[in-house]
Homo-oligomer: A and B are copies of this chain.
Amino acid sequence: MNDAHTVLAANAAFYDAHESRNLAAMQAVWEHSDRVACTHPGWPILRGWAEVETSWRRILEGPGRNQFIITNDTVEVVGEVAWVTCDENLVAPGSTFTVAATNVFVRDPGRGWLMVNHHGSPVGA
């Protein structure tokens, strides 16, 4: 796979981890460092892996259930950094809504492309 395809696979793994509520898979997607940041839709910016991991632990342990259908995705790779923009179409019983997302990845020599920033925002809110 070329870089773009590998990054899109990492991006897909992020949404698979969320949809399947798999914390270990979510941990595997992210860089575990102070420089990571995560902005869930409507939330303030969370910074550093400890804070980001805690948010995912609570989200994935919670009652929410969503199917993620990713559309309109693009990827750009410049050196060891890549960023993806995409629409997260969330399907829940009786409703659907769309979250616009920006996901930034950095290539780790051992672990491959790791997420360093996720930013999601509700479209139409």
Contact = CB atoms under 8 A, between A and B. Distances in A.
A78 B76 contact: no
A78 B105 CA distance: 11
Contacts of A120: 121
Question: Interface residue tally of chain A, by bracket?
Answer: 20 to 34
Given A74-B47, A102-B102, A116-B76, A41 B121 contact: yes
Interface stretch (A9-17, A19-27, A53-61, A81-89): A81-89
A1 interface: no
A34 to B, nearest CB: 9
Given A100-B44, A122-B42, A37 B117 contact: no
A80 interface: yes
